[in-house]
Structure 1
Amino acid sequence: MRDHYREVGGRDNVKDVSHCITRLRFHLKDESKADTEDLRATKGVIDVIQAGGQYQVVVGATVDAIYQDLVQVGGFQENAEVQDNPDTEKDLARGKKKDPFTRLLGVISEILQPVLGVLMAGGFIKSLLALTAVAGWLANDSSTYMVLSAIGDSAFYYFPLIIGWTSAKKFGLKPVMGMALGGILVYPTLVALTGVDPLYTIGAGTIFESKVYDDIFGIPLVMQAYSSTIIPAIFIVWVAAKFHKWLMGALPALVASFLANIITLFVCGIAGLVIIGPVTTILSNIVAAIIMALINFQPAIAGFVIGTFWSLLVMFGLHWGIIPLWFLDVATYGYDPINPLVYAGGCAIVGACIAIIVRTRSGQENADVNVPALISSIFGVNEPALYGLLIPRPKAMWATFVSAGVGGAIAGLFGAKLYSFGASGPLGFPSFINPAGIDTGFVGLVVSGIVAFVCALVAVMVIGVKKEEGKGFTLKVE
């Protein structure tokens, strides 16, 4: 590829070039100038695809090295910010604007793209640890287990910090500022506040109930666990990028750079804690209230709703109003009827992963991304599959979510219950066995997992694995 960049029509024919996990994505002024067949015959090139206004050169796992090669050899200047795509602007002008949720998923996909590798690695390590625990090879309270768990879980625990970095690159803010803002959400001292009794509760007994752990300048501080969430960090960095840009234009040029950083970190850091916290807490309470109302009305309907949307709730950090109910139910009644409604989701994701592996032509992509995501999902670590495989494929994602909903409906219909807390994901089925023996609830739970697995497998096989990815990292030709 080093000697063949001219085969896309030369430097003057390239508007910009980006990359994802396996592909170089060119926007060419005139695709007819590219020598596609010669490029396909080039050593190291797996395929050339022309789709969606992009000239895509599939090169596999070496894409980043080739990308860096293009920066130096092709005369490109790497831009720290992701620039707007001119072709996308034309599409918007023609009325091809996507719905807000689809656009949001597209932004999330772009932001997650740079961290998929470390998610796969961390998920694989966590999967191996889960295996050792199930097999009894390593005690959960051993120092070895705790160290390895920290290594595997680090990226997930500090996800808001990592997302702060990638979001900053997307929105045009300095990455280190994004990291600082994301890091506030998982700062140990603030996280520790959630482990003690709150000072008082606002709106007790209503959906607006919020536990106040402290205050900032007299403003109530409502905290929740932000670990593994992405939306709060993305929103904070997006606001910070807008605010910082405004400050740079409003402040005197002599002190703008210095003061803009201070004011942005101070204002947006506080705003993130006093606004994002209360808003997500209230939304979590609303979601929990709706789900409990559905369970009381008809468990099967509740199973379909919560099973379908559970992964989205987790992604938006809105599941925290529900999880405490699991522990409360088990402690109070000896069982919980809510958790079984989301069990089939892990099985559906496993089925989708297998279908994507089968339908993907690139062996390199399977080895680098798809197979590790499958292994992680089998052991209950769904983030690599969700962020790396499903979000870039909206049709496959929704097929998987609906399959999970069908499984959830079956679990609700059979009255499945959680009796203890054990392994996560498909391997966690022993936690649903009634201490008195196998009952119809457990049978229904097993059936729900099998049905969700088969439905997702078949649906994704039929739908296909076409991606709707964002641009990734962009090079602009000067």
Structure 2
Amino acid sequence: MNHKEVAEKLVPLLGGKANVVSATHCATRLRLVIDDESQIDKSAIEELDGVKGAFSSSGQFQIIFGTGTVNKVFAHFGPLVGVSMEEEEGGKDVSHKDAAKRKMNPFARFARTLSNIFVPIIPAIVAAGMLMGLLGLMNTYNWVDPESGMFVMLDMFSSASFIILPILIGFSAAKEFGGNTYLGAVIGGIMTHPSLLNPWGLSDAQPETLDFLGFGVEMLGYQGTVIPVLLTVYVMAKMEQGFRKIVPNAIDLLLTPFLTVIFTGFVALLVVGPLGRMLGNGLTSVLGIVYETAGPIAGLIFGGLYSTIVLTGVHHSFHAIEAELLNVGGNYLLPIWAMANVAQGGATLAVFFKTKNKKTKEIALPAGISAFLGITEPAIFGVNLKHRRPFIGAAIGGALGGAYVVFTQVMANGIGLTGLPMFAIAQDPINYGIGCLIAIGGAVIATLLLGWKEEVK
């Protein structure tokens, strides 16, 4: 394809340069904030060479090109609408996020905020989850003595991410909330200080109680927790912003961090931290009750509805919930989401084998493979949702797979990975694999039985 020619054709189909408020791209899609989306000729855009689909979501109009192609198109498209690659990698990207958020409803904005906080942390949690899986295999099959130096060191490596999770979240959340990132990390450090009892893996230990101005402060740390540090860093960012407004510029560098750390530290240990712990424990308890009582029915419902939830953008908020679940034995939500994702790939493959439309075939095969690797947007928006009934077929497959992984109690040691990559962090790879086959097979059969109206073009 001629990337420059596609970029030039794209601008008028979007309503012209003036209609594009800001632009950036991810691994597979152009992400555009549009002033008036009614000026977009969506059907003509989808007919352009290399375009695998287009949709509006999360305050952005997104055009799917695929890995390796999107950055080449953007290199020509960016200058045409006033965005360069250098700007996209720096300050311009921040303004793009702000512009996209302004077009979202409050709930979608909240979900996107949580996503922006947790997505950068996912590699650390995934690495820890894979190490936990390796340690589990070593222990189950007696590959290494649990008392050996190798096992002890790997155990240290696997638990480190969860022990310092509040520090990682503190840094990332401060960036998202508009605070100083290093102060956010310091607040996370206060909440995981060695003077506080580490609850990670210590179920019977009892923390000491410190007397502070007549109040009893429980000296219990927040290692591995999520909600307490999120709330605390949000308060920290607001305090820091407030202090900067009243502290003279001449002493701002010295006094603002000093006041921020002191006041936020007291708030963290006396109020927000304990409250956040109660909220986190309550959330995991409620989910645990639903998981244990509803069982496969919960998997059936969540697996069937997850792809529809993806359309709303609310799924971005699930990372925070999943990270909290890792403290209670494992993430049992991620395998359900994985079933919904691979089912989208199965439905797309069914379309690929049955359709006679050349353009649909070109999109369907790579989109299906992408869904099996955990990236579902090309399959959902480029094929299944476009034809409607394949999307329903994928929901049926996701429901069946979700019911199976809940029935067999498949859990994950991390967050963020679905599809085939999730084998690396699945606690029960065999039943996870069977669940994938059920989801894919169910989606293929359901899609072929439901059929769809073939496009004339």
TM-score normalized by structure 2? Answer: 0.57
User: Following the alignment from structure 1 to structure 2, what is the Cα–Cα distance between the partners of residues 264 and 463?
Assistant: 57
User: Following the alignment from structure 2 to structure 1, what is the Cα–Cα distance between the partners of residues 121 and 72?
Assistant: 16
User: Following the alignment from structure 2 to structure 1, what is the Cα–Cα distance between the partners of residues 73 and 175?
Assistant: 21
Q: Show the counterpart of 2:254.
A: 258
CA-atom RMSD, angstroms? 5.5
Paired residues of 1:17 and 1:25 also in contact (CA < 8 A):
yes
Determine if the alignment matches structure 1 residue 89 to structure 2 residue 95: no
1:199-218 equivalences under 5 Å are 212-216=208-212
> Structure 1 residues 272, 427: CA separation in 2 closer, same or farther (over 3 Å shift)?
same
CA shift at 1:450, angstroms?
A: 11
Determine if the alignment matches structure 1 residue 182 to structure 2 residue 191: no
User: Following the alignment from structure 1 to structure 2, what is the Cα–Cα distance between the partners of residues 159 and 180?
Assistant: 12
> Structure 1 residues 68, 287: CA separation in 2 closer, same or farther (over 3 Å shift)?
same
User: Following the alignment from structure 1 to structure 2, what is the Cα–Cα distance between the partners of residues 285 and 38?
Assistant: 50
Residue type of the alignment partner of 1:220: G
Instruction: Report Cα offsets for 1:138-188 as digits up to 9, x if no partner.
Output: 233322123233334433332221122221221111222222222322233
Paired residues of 1:49 and 1:57 also in contact (CA < 8 A):
yes
Aligned counterpart for 2:343 among listed residues 343, 355, 360: 355
User: Following the alignment from structure 2 to structure 1, what is the Cα–Cα distance between the partners of residues 138 and 232?
Assistant: 38
Q: Which has the higher helix share?
A: 2
Aligned counterpart for 2:141 among listed residues 135, 142, 146: 135
* Structure 2 gap segments, 5+ residues each: 303-317, 349-365, 377-394, 410-424, 448-457
Residue type of the alignment partner of 1:78: G
Determine if the alignment matches structure 1 residue 234 to structure 2 residue 230: yes
CA shift at 1:302, angstroms?
A: 9.6
| SS across alignment from 2:23 | strand
Aligned counterpart for 2:263 among listed residues 257, 264, 267: 267
Aligned counterpart for 2:61 among listed residues 45, 54, 57: 54
Residue type of the alignment partner of 2:227: I
Higher mean C-alpha deviation, range 172-181 or range 47-56: 47-56
| SS across alignment from 1:221 | strand
> Structure 1 residues 405, 219: CA separation in 2 closer, same or farther (over 3 Å shift)?
farther
User: Following the alignment from structure 1 to structure 2, what is the Cα–Cα distance between the partners of residues 238 and 103?
Assistant: 15
Aligned counterpart for 1:173 among listed residues 171, 179, 182: 179
User: Following the alignment from structure 1 to structure 2, what is the Cα–Cα distance between the partners of residues 61 and 117?
Assistant: 21
> Structure 1 residues 128, 264: CA separation in 2 closer, same or farther (over 3 Å shift)?
same
CA shift at 1:249, angstroms?
A: 0.9
Paired residues of 1:171 and 1:241 also in contact (CA < 8 A):
yes
Residue type of the alignment partner of 1:189: S
Q: Show the counterpart of 2:353.
A: none
User: Following the alignment from structure 2 to structure 1, what is the Cα–Cα distance between the partners of residues 247 and 189?
Assistant: 27
| SS across alignment from 1:190 | coil
> Structure 1 residues 132, 214: CA separation in 2 closer, same or farther (over 3 Å shift)?
same
Paired residues of 2:170 and 2:181 also in contact (CA < 8 A):
yes
> Structure 1 residues 50, 228: CA separation in 2 closer, same or farther (over 3 Å shift)?
same
| Percent of paired sites with the same residue | 20
1:299-448 equivalences under 5 Å are 300=293, 315=322, 317=324, 348=336, 351-352=339-340, 354-355=342-343, 358=346, 361-362=366-367, 403=403, 407=407, 427=428
User: Following the alignment from structure 2 to structure 1, what is the Cα–Cα distance between the partners of residues 32 and 99?
Assistant: 12
| SS across alignment from 2:146 | coil
CA shift at 1:248, angstroms?
A: 0.9
* Structure 1 gap segments, 5+ residues each: 199-210, 324-338, 372-394, 410-423, 430-445, 465-478
Q: Which has the higher contact order (CA 8 A, sep 6+)?
A: 1
User: Following the alignment from structure 2 to structure 1, what is the Cα–Cα distance between the partners of residues 248 and 185?
Assistant: 26
TM-score normalized by structure 1? Answer: 0.55
CA shift at 1:260, angstroms?
A: 1.4
CA shift at 1:117, angstroms?
A: 3.4
CA shift at 1:238, angstroms?
A: 1.3
1:65-80 equivalences under 5 Å are 73=85, 75=87, 78-79=90-91
Q: Show the counterpart of 1:277.
A: 273
User: Following the alignment from structure 2 to structure 1, what is the Cα–Cα distance between the partners of residues 372 and 433?
Assistant: 26
Residue type of the alignment partner of 2:241: K
Determine if the alignment matches structure 1 residue 23 to structure 2 residue 50: no
CA shift at 1:256, angstroms?
A: 2.4
Instruction: Report Cα offsets for 1:49-85 as digits up to 9, x if no partner.
Output: 3423423354438989999997864655723857664
Instruction: Report Cα offsets for 1:263-290 as digits up to 9, x if no partner.
Output: 1122112211222332244456767998
Higher mean C-alpha deviation, range 179-188 or range 311-320: 311-320
Instruction: Report Cα offsets for 1:24-65 as digits up to 9, x if no partner.
Output: 422245775999579854xxxx74634234233544389899
Instruction: Report Cα offsets for 1:115-150 as digits up to 9, x if no partner.
Output: 333433333333233223222212333221232333
Instruction: Report Cα offsets for 1:372-395 as digits up to 9, x if no partner.
Output: xxxxxxxxxxxxxxxxxxxxxxx9
| SS across alignment from 2:189 | helix
Paired residues of 2:335 and 2:402 also in contact (CA < 8 A):
no
Instruction: Report Cα offsets for 1:424-454 as digits up to 9, x if no partner.
Output: 975499xxxxxxxxxxxxxxxx9xx999989
User: Following the alignment from structure 2 to structure 1, what is the Cα–Cα distance between the partners of residues 5 and 152?
Assistant: 49
User: Following the alignment from structure 2 to structure 1, what is the Cα–Cα distance between the partners of residues 275 and 63?
Assistant: 41
Paired residues of 1:25 and 1:54 also in contact (CA < 8 A):
yes
Higher mean C-alpha deviation, range 67-76 or range 46-55: 67-76
CA shift at 1:214, angstroms?
A: 2.6
User: Following the alignment from structure 1 to structure 2, what is the Cα–Cα distance between the partners of residues 290 and 272?
Assistant: 25
Paired residues of 1:50 and 1:56 also in contact (CA < 8 A):
yes
